[in-house]
Amino acid sequence: MEPYLASSVHVAGFVAAAKRLGLMDKMLPLLAPETKHVVEHPYDEKWVSAQVIQDLSNCVADAHGPDALDEVNFVMTKDSLGKLVLPMLRVALAITGRSPATIFARLHDSVRVAMKGVSVTWAPNGTNAGRVTLRYPEPVPKVVHYAWRGVFRFAWDLTERQGQLVDARYLDEGKTLELDVSWK
């Protein structure tokens, strides 16, 4: 089984977004010492334990409420990770059309830029809805769906659609996350 890791680009992008949104001051005292070290030296390692991104997510939610994860991940995806996957997504959108389904179908490949050990599947439900299923090697914080809502906002913006996260379910003791989405 592949180790559960977060890329330095993911961590640095998350921290940059939290700083840009003015959230870091309240978060810093809540961070585990290992996370603080990575925050201060994000590019020392190409990949770090995914516990770092989980700690950052929990601290955002604890200090600013879970909805802040939506905004942090939207900004991070748009300003950092999105730039890495945008060329692939633009080609796919040009070939298959400007539907969020095009992006969701390629989410597994996009996530590989940010995380190792996470598997993503897409199951469409008609032309304007579907389910994203994320499988993690260990339980994730019960606020992770707020983070994904921010990532999905990037997809909806890119395709100029109005979308929503309809439902989120944590299964398999928190190792599987099912996210139902729809858009107009």
- CATH number reported for the structural domain that contains residue 166 in this entry: 3.90.1520.10
* Local confidence band at 110 (pLDDT 50, 70, 90 cut-offs): confident
Amino acid at 130: G
Number of independent structural domains in the chain: 1
Q: Cα(29)–Cα(149) distance, rounded to whole angstroms?
A: 26
Angle separating helix axes 51-64 and 33-40, nearest 10 degrees: 100
Question: Which DSSP category does 81 fall into?
Answer: I
**Structural domain containing residue 95:** 5-183
Tell me if 154 sits within 8 A of 107, measured CB to CB.
no
Q: Is 37 helix (H, G, I), strand (E, B) or coil?
A: helix
Evaluated on CA atoms 44, 49, 50, 51, the torsion sign reads: negative
Per-residue model confidence (pLDDT) at position 85: 66
Backbone angles phi, psi at 90, to 5 degrees: -60, -40
Model pLDDT for residues 17-76, shown as the tens digit of each residue: 999 999 999 999 999 999 999 999 999 999 999 999 999 999 999 999 999 999 999 999
β partners of residue 183:
163
* Local confidence band at 158 (pLDDT 50, 70, 90 cut-offs): confident
